[in-house]
Structure 1
Amino acid sequence: MKKRILSATMTSLLAIAMLLAGCSQTTQAPPTEPAKTEQPAQTPAPAPEPAKEGPKQLIVGRGGDSVGLDPIRETDGESFKVTENIYDTLVGYEEESTKVVPSLAEKWEVSPDGLTYTFTLRKGVKFHDGTDFNAEAVKWNFERWMDKSNPFHNQDGYYYYNDMFGGYKGDANHVIKSVEAVDPGTVKFTLNYPLAPFIQNLGMSPFAIASPTAVQAAGADGFTEKPVGTGPFKFKEWKRNDTITLEKNPDYWNAGYPKVDTLVFKAIPENTARLTALINGEIDLMDGLNPDDAEDVKANSELQLILRPSMNIGYIGFNVEKEPFNNQKVREAISHAINKPEIIEAFFAGLGQPAVNPMPPTLWGHNDSIKDREFNLDKAKQLLAEAGFPNGFKTQFWAMPVPRPYMPDGVKIAEAIQQDLKKIGVETEIVTMEWATYLEKTRIGEQTMFMLGWTGDNGDPDNFLATLLDKNNIDGNNNTRWANEEASQLMMKAKQASTQSEREQLYKQVQEIIFKDVPMVPLAHSTPALAARANVVDYKPHPKGSESLEKVDIK
C-alpha cells in the first residue's frame, strides 16, 4: 500500500489553520454538520464492581490474660470473656438482662414436682472439630463435671459446678441425680431435690458444652489450651499474657453471625495504657476504663463511652480461719475504719455506690433494711481493744493485681485503705502477684486480709450469697472460709423454695447474719465504664460482665 506524503509547506499551513481555529471563540462561524459515517457497534463498558470489604478484625483490650479456656475449670471474668465466644450453653440470657432464652436447647419442659427437666436440642449443630452436638454430648459433659471418678474430671475440682449444683455425685447435697440422652435431640435431667435456680444456672458461662472428642484427645488438663465448642468463633492462637486470637465459625448455627472475621483479646494491664492504645487505633474496644477518663472519652468524637449495667460487688475479705481475723470484733473494727464514701469518690468518679450487703441492690432479695456501719476510727479502736489488740497489730493485705469492673485499681485502693487502718494501729503490708496465682492462693486460703469481688452470673441471689459465703463452697469461691451453719441451712432452704417471695425472705435473713458476723466488708457496687472506637457498632455489654461478640460489627 502506498503512503500519502504531504509537502513540508502544506503541513505548516494546515497546522497554522488549525491553531487559528482553536484560538477563535467569538468570531468563528458555527461549525457545519460533519458528514455522518457508519460506525461499528460498540459493546457497553461493564459497570465497575463495588469495592469488596476486606476481612474484619475486632481487637478487644483488657486488663489481664485468661487463666484457662476450659470454662468449667475457671472462675475469673477474663477467661469467660473469651470462652463465651468459643462455646454455647444449653440456655442463654437476653442481650441486656438475665432473662433466660433458648440457645443450644430450643425449648424445655419441667415436671410439676420440679424434679425433671426435659430439653429439646437444636438440630444440625456441629462442634468446631466437625463432630455432632447432640444429647450424648450434653450427657458426656455433665457426667465429666459431676463425677470425680470420670477419667476426664480435673482432680482440682470444678468450683462453679460444686457451688451451683450442691457438690459432686455422691455428696449429700448434690442436685443432679441423672442425665439421660432420650434420643439424639432430647436430653432429660432428673434431680435429687428441687432447685429453684436450676434453669438460671444452666445459662452460666462455666456450663458451656465442649466437644467430647476434643476433650478426650487433649486430656482434662490439655483441653484448657485447645478449646473446641459450638460457638461463633473458633480458637486459633494463644500468646500468654499478650493475645488470644479467634476466627469466625462459618458454620455457626445462628445464621448471619458473627459479623467480624477475626476476634483478638489483647492484655494491656494498665488502664491508661489501654486507653492510649484505643485512641491510637491499636485496639477497637476496651474495658477497665478509669472512671476519671469517662468525660474525656465522651468529648472525643472518635470514641464512644459505654456503661455496663451494674451487677457486682467489690469487697475486702478476711480469712476467718487465721488470727487475728478469727475474732469477730477485729473484723468489725476494720469495717468501721474503712472510709467507703471517700474511696468511691476518689477511685470510682461517680460510677459507684457504697455497698452494705454482698449482693447488689439491683437484685431481688436485697435487704434494704440493713444500715451500714459508719466510718468511725474511735469505734474501731474501741473494738480492737475489746478484742485484745489495744495497740493494733501487723498483717498482710492482699491487693488485686489487675483492674476489674468492681475494683478499678486494686493497688491504689489498697494503699488508701492502708492509710485508714494505720490510724487505728493496724500496720498492713500490701502483697500482690500474678492474677491466676492470686486467685488460686486465695481459693486455698493462704491469704489473711484480701481484696476481691464478684460479678453476678445469672441474676439470682444464690449466685452471690451461696457462691461467696456458703460453708459448702470453701475451697471454691468462698475465699473468706466462713462456715456459718445457720446461714448455710437458710441458703439451702432458699434454693429449694417453690416461690420467689419465700426465697426473698430467706435471703434477707442470710444477709442479716452476714452483716452481724462480718466475714467481709462490702466496699462498692460499680457501674463499669468501657470505651470503643466510634466505628464499633451493635456492642451491648451484659450485666454479668462478659458476652458473646457475635453481633458486633465495624463500620
Structure 2
Amino acid sequence: MKNWFIFISKLCFLTGFFILSGCSPSADDNVHTPGIVYCSEGDPTSFNPQLTTNGTTTDASSYQIYNRLVEYDPALGSIVAALARHWFINEDGTSYTFYLRKNVKFHSNDNFTPTRDFNADDVLFSFNRIIDSTHPYHNVSGGSYPFFQSVGFTDIINKIVKVNDYMIVIHLTEKDASFMANLAANFAIIQSKEYADQLSEQQQQSQIDSHPIGTGPFVLDSYFQNDHIRYKPNQGYWNGTPDIEQLVFDITPKSTNRIAKLMTGDCDISALPQSSEIDIIRQNRKLELQIQTGFNVAYLGFNTERIPFNNPKVRQALSHAINKRAIVEAVYYGSATIADSVLPSLSWAYNDTLQPYEYSPEKAKKLLAEAGYSDGFDMTLWAAPVQRIYNPNAIKTAELIQGQLKLVGVNVNIVTYGWNVFIDKLNDYSYDSVLMGWTADNADPDNFFRPLFSCAALLSGGNRVNWCNDDFDETINQAIASTDEKKRVPYYLAAQQTLNKQVPLIPIAHALRFQVKSRNITGLSLNPYGGISFAKAKRKSANVSDGGAK
C-alpha cells in the first residue's frame, strides 16, 4: 500500500501517499467550484476498501467509486439488489446463485477505456483476488484483506463458478447466516478484470488501487494529499447519473475548521461534528443537523500478549478503574450511551444479564494487588489523532483515562501519530493499549464479533486486542450456522459473557451518529451503519425559514 502512487517527479514530491495528477493544486483546482463540497476528516489510505477497515477510506471510495453485488438498505432493514439484480439460495444455505445486471458500464480514465460492460469475470476477479493466495493480484498492495480475513471468507467459500456472463454460483463449505450481510458490506466492492489485465501488461498492477476503476456513481478525477479529492459524475451510471456537476472531499482534520467552512459556505456537508458544537449548529438556520442511532462501539483495547495485560485479573482491575460515565459526559456531552458490551442494546442479540464493572478504584487496587501489582505499573495508551463516529475526541478520552488510572497507581503515557502512520503502526502490535472502535456495516450481530475478536482477525490486523480464544471462536461460529435468530441468540449471549469475563477490551460508549449539512442539499441520508453516499445528493434553492435538528 505504501508504494501505490507513482513518483511523478522529484519536484513534485509529497510526504505520504501521492497525488493522482499534477504536483500541487492550481488555480483551476480550487475546491470551491460548482458542485457539492464535503468536509471530510482525513485522507484515505487507499482507493480500495477491500484493503482496510478504516472509515476515511471507505467514505472516499466504497459508495462513490464502486458498487457491490448487493446492498444493505437501513430503511428497509434488508438486503437489496445492486450489481446482482436477484439471487437464489439453496435449501441447505451452501449455494448462492446470482443473476447479474446487464448494461453496467465501468469508468474510464486517462490510461483505460473499457471495451465491454460489467460481467461475471469481474465478480470472479474481485473475490478470487481476496480468497486465492496464488491469484496474480492477491499480493498487490500488500495482500491483506482485513474484513474478509476476519470473517473467514477464504475458508467459507469453496468455489465461485461462472455459469455464463451474467450468472455466477458461489458454493460455501458450510452454512453461514452472515454471508449475504458480508457481501453487502462496504468492503465487498467489484473491480474491473479488464482494467487489471491491462495494468498487468503495463506492469503497473498497483494502480488498480490508487487509480481506481469502478461502476459507481462517481469517477475519481484527482487527489491531492492533505488537501482534497475531486470526483466527476459517472455519466453512464446504471442507477441514474448524479445530479451534481462534481463532488469534492475537502480534507479538513479539525472539527472546528469544518464547522467554520460550513458557516461560510465553503463546505456543504461536514463529517463528525463534535458534541460540543451541536448548540452552535442548531442556532444556524442555514444548517441542518442529522442525527441517527449508531451501531458502533468505542473501546479501550489491551494488547493481551504483553505483560501485564496477558493477565485477565489486571484487565478486570482496570475495568473497575475506568469511569465511563465521566468520559461520556466530558467527551460525548450526552450524545452517547455507556457501553456494557461491544454489542449495542438495540441489537436482537444483546445480553442484558451482563454484570457491568462498577467504577471502584478500591476494587481496582485490590485486584491489582492480587495480580502482583500493588505498586502499579507503567503503560502506553495509543490514541487516534482524528475524530471517528464512535469517538469524537480520542485524545481527550485518553487524558481522562490517564487521570483515572493514576488514582490506582498506573502511569499512562499517551502516544499518537498522524492518521495513516497510526494505522500502519497498529499492525505491529507495539502498544500496551489502544483507544479504538468499530462501526457495524449491517444489523447482523456477527459484525461485532468475528471482525474484532476471531483468531482469523489476528492475521488481518482487525483483532487489535491480540486475543485468540478457540472456545470463543467455536461459539461465534456456531452462531452463524443457523439463520434462525432464536437459535443464534444463545451463542451471542455466551460470547458476550466470555468477553465480560476475559476483558480483552473495555467497551466505553455507543455514540449517536451526527452529520451536518446545508439546508439546500437534499438526497443525503445518514446511515446508522457508517459510510456515506452522494449518489442522490443535489442542491436546491436555499430555504432558511426552518431550524432545529432532523
Query: CA separation in 1, counterparts of 2:168 and 2:92?
Result: 18
1:233-272 equivalences under 5 Å are 233-255=218-240, 257-272=241-256
Q: Does 1:161 align with 2:145?
A: no
Structure 1: which amino acid aligns with 2:150?
Answer: D
Residue 220 of structure 1 and its aligned partner are, at CA, apart by: 4.6
Paired position in structure 2 for 1:485: 470
Q: What letter is aligned with 2:143?
A: D
Q: Distance in 2 between matches of 1:382 and 1:220?
A: 57
What's 1:230 paired with? 215
* Distance in 2 of aligned mates of 1:302 and 1:492: 49
The correspondence of residues 259-408 of structure 1 with structure 2, limited to 5 A, is 259-408=243-392
Question: 2:521–2:538: 8 Å Cα contact kept in structure 1?
Answer: yes
Structure 2 residue identity aligned to 1:211: S
Q: Tell me, what secondary structure is at the counterpart of 1:480?
A: coil
Q: Which amino acid aligns with 1:93?
A: Y
Which of residues 117, 127, 130 in structure 1 aligns to 2:106? 127
CA distance 1:344–1:386, change in 2 (3 Å) = same
Aligned to 2:545: none
Distance 1:310 1:458 in 2: 11
| 2:50 is aligned with 1:72 | yes
Change (3 A) 1:296 1:454: same
Q: SS of the counterpart of 2:449?
A: helix
Q: Distance in 2 between matches of 1:123 and 1:156?
A: 31
Of the three residues 133, 148, 159, the one matched with 2:133 is 148
Q: Distance in 1 between matches of 2:404 and 2:311?
A: 20
* Conservation of the 8 A alpha-carbon contact between 1:153 and 1:220: no
Among candidates 110, 114, 123, match of residue 89 of structure 2: 110
In structure 2, the partner of 1:99 is 78
Q: Using the TM superposition, give the Cα deviation of residue 390 of structure 1 relative to its aligned residue in structure 2, in angstroms.
A: 0.6
Which residue of 2 is the match for residue 60 of structure 1? 38
Deviations 1:354-402 (A, max 9, x none): 0011121122211111131111011111111111111111111101110
TM-score by length of 1: 0.87
| 8 A contact 2:150–2:458 mirrored in 1 | no
Q: Please state how far the C-alpha of 1:441 moved relative to its aligned partner.
A: 2.2
Check conservation: 2:158, 2:171, Cα contact below 8 A. Answer: yes
Give the structure 2 partner of residue 203 of structure 1: 184
Q: Determine the C-alpha separation between the residues in 1 that align with 2:420 and 2:459.
A: 15
Query: Shift of residue 523 of structure 1?
Result: 0.4
**Which protein has the larger Cα radius of gyration, Structure 1 or Structure 2?**
1
Return the alpha-carbon distance in structure 1 between the equivalents of residues 317 and 248 of structure 2.
Answer: 46
> 1:297 corresponds to which letter in structure 2?
I
1-structure distance, mates of 2:74, 2:88 = 23
Q: For each residue in 1:276-328, what CA deviation from the matched residue of structure 2 results, as whole angstroms up to 9, or x when unmatched?
A: 11111111101110101112211111111111331100000000001111111
Aligned residue number for residue 426 of structure 1: 410
Measured against aligned partners, the alpha-carbon deviations of 1:160-199 in whole angstroms (never above 9, x if no partner) come to 11122x153xxxxx01111111111111111111111111
Indicate if the aligned counterparts of 1:309 and 1:541 stay in contact, CA closer than 8 A: no
Change (3 A) 1:498 1:527: closer
CA–CA separation in structure 1 for the residues paired with 2:374 and 2:138? 50
Classify the secondary structure of the residue corresponding to 1:496.
coil
**Cα distance, 1:328–1:513 mapped onto 2, change above 3 Å:** same
Which has the larger displacement, 193-202 or 496-505? 496-505
SS at match of 2:249: strand
Of 481, 484, 492 in structure 2, the residue corresponding to residue 507 of structure 1 is 492
Deviation, 1:55, is 8.3
Counterpart check, 1:90 vs 2:69: yes
- Deviations along 1:114-163, one digit per CA (max 9) or x if unpaired, are 11111111110011133420111111211111101111012432111112
Question: CA deviation digits over 1:30-88, x for unaligned, max 9?
Answer: xxxxxxxxxxxxxxxxxxxxxxxx98411111221111111211211111112111000
CA contact (8 A) 1:355 1:524 kept: yes
- Take 1:357 and 1:126, find their aligned partners in 2: how far apart are those partners? 44
Distance 1:277 1:466 in 2: 39
Contact 1:338 1:421 in 2 (8 A): yes
Work out whether residues 128 and 229 of structure 1, in 8 Å CA contact, stay in contact via their aligned partners in 2.
Answer: yes
Number of residues of Structure 1 aligned to a counterpart in Structure 2: 495
Per-residue Cα deviation, 1:79-123 (whole angstroms, up to 9, x for no partner): 111211100000012254642110011100011111111111111
Q: What is the Cα-based RMSD across aligned positions, in Å?
A: 1.5
Give the secondary-structure state (helix, strand or coil) at the position aligned to 2:459: coil
2:420 to 436, 449, 452: 436
Shift of 1:498: 3.8
Is contact 2:149–2:459 with CA below 8 Å preserved after alignment?
Answer: no
Maintained 8 Å contact 2:74/2:528: no
Rounded Cα–Cα distance in structure 2 between residues aligned with 1:547 and 1:215: 27
1:260, 1:550 within 8 Å by CA — same for their partners in 2? no
Q: Which moved more, 1:404-413 or 1:430-439?
A: 430-439
Residue 185 in structure 1 maps to residue 166 in structure 2: yes
State the 1:537 CA deviation. 1.2
Distance 1:544 1:479 in 2: 20
Q: Is the 8 A contact 2:524 2:533 kept in 1?
A: no
Partners of 1:441 and 1:447 within 8 A in 2? no
* Aligned-partner residue type, residue 67 of structure 1: T
For 2:207, what is the secondary structure of its paired residue? helix
Q: 1:543 aligns with which of 511, 522, 528?
A: 528
C-alpha distance 525-68 of structure 1, shift in aligned 2 (>3 A): same
Q: Percent identity?
A: 34
What is the DSSP-based 3-state SS (H/G/I as helix, E as strand, rest coil) of the residue aligned with 1:278? helix
Measured after TM superposition, the shift of residue 216 of structure 1 is: 3.6
Return the offset for 1:497: 2.1
Gaps of 5+ in 1: 1-53, 169-173
Q: Is the 8 A contact 1:96 1:540 kept in 2?
A: no
**Alpha-carbon separation, structure 1, partners of 2:523 and 2:127:** 33
